[in-house]
Structure 1
């Protein structure tokens, strides 16, 4: 990240005022700065940064417009719009952690394949902010973004496994992996079927951390490193973003990094089925019938609905341990984007109290989520004449809901289960985020887990 936060204000630091729309007169700016702002048409417009000149051509400060609603993540604009140097907020803020985090997130850049620029903007931590936690969350979000942004030639199943091992090493977690035909021997037939046509072996990555007698929290992430659609091949325009189809895996790994770094008193398990849905002579076919780990048979109505297949085997394994909380995250359906757009991921849960807490945490940390119903009458849409179920419906309606209902069939013992159908991508630039891979839902889940299982 090009931006940084410091605990103490350096002597040469310059001030930044946050200005709500229509409130320029009450910011405390001196008469010269006020006149300059007015002359430039600045009136607190959301996301607008205006540099204020001082004597001898120097910069004396800056103002940032927060709009009418005091946009909670707008401070991310400071990381990209301020000149290099040290800055501090010249006003108090209501949410210091969120303001500091927005600044760090706004400074994120994916530079693996390009020259790093010379941006060096530092912001003094707002009063009351928790520097350790803010940096922990920013690091996790950057991890998720980096993994999603990396193209599949450098982020296939092997590289995804290496990324998991790197995070595990940082936190002294253990990792075991089942690869290739070992998936058949260990009874993960659907993970094997989806990934066997790829050039790299499909695998199930299994990370464990924490005391064995602590409450069990298990995270399952869809790790489809590229999705051609299989034999039901996608059009080329739909493949352009399919490097992000492992966004669920990236997000649960980033969430796990926060849990471990904060040393939350839980028994953490992370399961990532890592595959590439490719086309080859041994690719699974439409109308094939697969037997899942749970024993349920699945008719393949469409090979492009592969994410739910690999998740189902992983969820069945996770469910065997009867975890306190079982969460899966996946870039699962286009239907979720049709319903709620790219910025508002739907989530589903079998526990009303947990769903309420997720919604509350989402609002608390400005990490948008929206609960959708597990509408049981739609479950019959997954029926098959030759198997226990089909992996798709025939009418195309309620695609995100029926995908969640499909996954629910593989969960029965976990006390709480929640499914997050994320997009994992920013299609347009935001104050706190460039176009590209994105962490969605994990800041809210981390906030919730901190409250449920506070560090000792």
Structure 2
């Protein structure tokens, strides 16, 4: 297969280190906290004391409080070198951490649409978080906007951010910015995949784009088409994909690393999910373009691991299919054979994600990884249990807790969930080894993970991250997250990989 051409336009603003405010800067973004006696400004060395006092007085005069994500824009005092000051609220000083700065930078970036160059002092508080927040907050998806509806000059995303630091030539600052820019680009790449409609991102095209990204990053790439899947016995992937004219794929992207531990990543890649014969309601079905959010995150993460030069080996497996109803689609009551030989009675064709994941998990485990992380927009039950912004993490206890802890530290806030043993019997089938769903509605997120557990090899440390809600924002923008694909859980997975790289 020839690699597809991927969009080459940058997905976020140019990020640069600076020691002072340049003449080209139009807006200076500062942080504002809620002090005991009124708001307090974080201006670093960007303004002299007199100008900083004038700025704070002006902000107070128009009612700025420093409340988290509050935005206040005022004309800049004469002699400050910029046209205006944008203050973003960071809340209580005791609550200001990397995630708060990341969110504040994202809110500011969205407000600066139409601005060409901005500078910020948020970078003096946390350079990496500020860089990520500005990049991701400025991200927009306009690929299919024609001249009739594309943003005009005053609505175009922020083009450049100068991150003010004491020593812009310092190697540590340069390294921090390079890492954060790479992470932000990976998150935006996952968002771009998710936001691309299924008319333009179907299994073959998704595989080709993943191949292009992987090849550019120096990864080893292997793609199994429908014939290779049939020959190999990948019954789950084939069963889900058989109702569509778009043939399924299994993509393998490998970062060899330089020794040490090995990690397998598996991501659900349903490029569109109608539910199949067990068809979904029409209302909201258009959001099922997001059902490959796990796959998007896995592709972006393994490419990022290569760019960051991680020593840990990363083997990414991405099963891709389109779940459609047709005369050739699998039916409720059908029995399929997963890769590795387990037979499964398909009770509900809308519980398809676990079928393609199981094939990929068994194949990934044949390579004997030390750790395995799978991620998927797997169950609506995840949203019922944890809401739209909190991923659920299940798996082997120690690794599950490690993944959840790291996720909370970096602000994606995954929550550890149990795998109750009593639910296993509810997946028994009268005609096959397993049923793909239980016969009740209770604990659906947990039951799906228990199904996947059946396919994880003994001795492999495993974590399953359900991002059914967190991978796709159907509401209004918040923090550095706009409407549509969010890129969750890229930051969690790369942070876990870095932790394994350092700690084993």
Q: Shared fold (TM-score greater than 0.5)?
A: yes
Alpha carbons of 1:379 and 1:60: their partners in 2 closer, same or farther (altered >3 Å)?
same
| C-alpha RMSD of the superposition | 2.3
Q: How does 1:171-182 map to 2 (within 5 A)?
A: 171-182=217-228
Instruction: Name the counterpart of 2:479.
Output: 431
Does structure 1 conserve the Cα–Cα contact (< 8 Å) formed by 2:121 and 2:163?
A: no
Q: Partners in 2 of 1:55 and 1:289 — Cα distance?
A: 73
Does structure 1 conserve the Cα–Cα contact (< 8 Å) formed by 2:248 and 2:320?
A: yes
Instruction: Name the counterpart of 2:500.
Output: 452
Match of 2:349, SS state, is coil
Higher mean C-alpha deviation, range 325-334 or range 233-242:
233-242
Q: Partners in 2 of 1:25 and 1:321 — Cα distance?
A: 56
Q: Note the residue ranges of structure 2 that are not aligned, 5 or more in a row.
A: 1-10, 42-48, 166-171
Instruction: Name the counterpart of 1:36.
Output: 58
Instruction: Name the counterpart of 1:59.
Output: 83
Are 1:123 and 2:170 counterparts? Answer: no
Does structure 1 conserve the Cα–Cα contact (< 8 Å) formed by 2:54 and 2:77?
A: no
Alpha carbons of 1:384 and 1:131: their partners in 2 closer, same or farther (altered >3 Å)?
same
Alpha carbons of 1:391 and 1:62: their partners in 2 closer, same or farther (altered >3 Å)?
same
Instruction: Name the counterpart of 1:17.
Output: 30
Q: How does 1:51-450 map to 2 (within 5 A)?
A: 51-54=73-76, 59-68=83-92, 69-70=95-96, 71-72=100-101, 73-82=103-112, 84-90=115-121, 93-114=124-145, 115=150, 117-127=155-165, 129=173, 130-210=176-256, 214-352=260-398, 354-423=399-468, 424-428=471-475, 429-450=477-498
Alpha carbons of 1:25 and 1:283: their partners in 2 closer, same or farther (altered >3 Å)?
closer
Query: 1:143, CA displacement in angstroms?
Result: 0.6
Q: Partners in 1 of 2:407 and 2:393 — Cα distance?
A: 11
Does structure 1 conserve the Cα–Cα contact (< 8 Å) formed by 2:271 and 2:320?
A: yes
Higher mean C-alpha deviation, range 412-421 or range 323-332:
412-421
Higher mean C-alpha deviation, range 218-227 or range 37-46:
37-46
Does structure 2 conserve the Cα–Cα contact (< 8 Å) formed by 1:326 and 1:414?
A: no
Query: 1:260, CA displacement in angstroms?
Result: 0.8
Does structure 2 conserve the Cα–Cα contact (< 8 Å) formed by 1:178 and 1:205?
A: yes
CA deviations on 1:234-291 (whole Å, 9 max, x unpaired) are: 1101412111111110010111111111111133211111111111111111011112
Does structure 1 conserve the Cα–Cα contact (< 8 Å) formed by 2:249 and 2:319?
A: yes
Q: How many residues align?
A: 454
Query: 1:36, CA displacement in angstroms?
Result: 2.6
Q: Partners in 2 of 1:60 and 1:387 — Cα distance?
A: 68
Q: Partners in 2 of 1:52 and 1:319 — Cα distance?
A: 58
Does structure 2 conserve the Cα–Cα contact (< 8 Å) formed by 1:342 and 1:427?
A: no
Alpha carbons of 1:133 and 1:386: their partners in 2 closer, same or farther (altered >3 Å)?
same
Using structure 2 for the length normalisation, give the TM-score: 0.85
Alpha carbons of 1:342 and 1:386: their partners in 2 closer, same or farther (altered >3 Å)?
same
Match of 1:240, SS state, is helix
CA deviations on 1:335-367 (whole Å, 9 max, x unpaired) are: 001000111010112141x23322332233212
Q: Partners in 2 of 1:119 and 1:373 — Cα distance?
A: 42
Q: Partners in 2 of 1:26 and 1:213 — Cα distance?
A: 49
Does structure 1 conserve the Cα–Cα contact (< 8 Å) formed by 2:105 and 2:122?
A: no
Query: 1:225, CA displacement in angstroms?
Result: 0.7
Query: 1:10, CA displacement in angstroms?
Result: 4.5
Using structure 1 for the length normalisation, give the TM-score: 0.93
Q: Partners in 2 of 1:446 and 1:6 — Cα distance?
A: 23
Q: Note the residue ranges of structure 1 that are not aligned, 5 or more in a row.
A: none
Alpha carbons of 1:54 and 1:260: their partners in 2 closer, same or farther (altered >3 Å)?
closer
Q: Partners in 1 of 2:402 and 2:425 — Cα distance?
A: 30
Higher mean C-alpha deviation, range 72-81 or range 155-164:
72-81
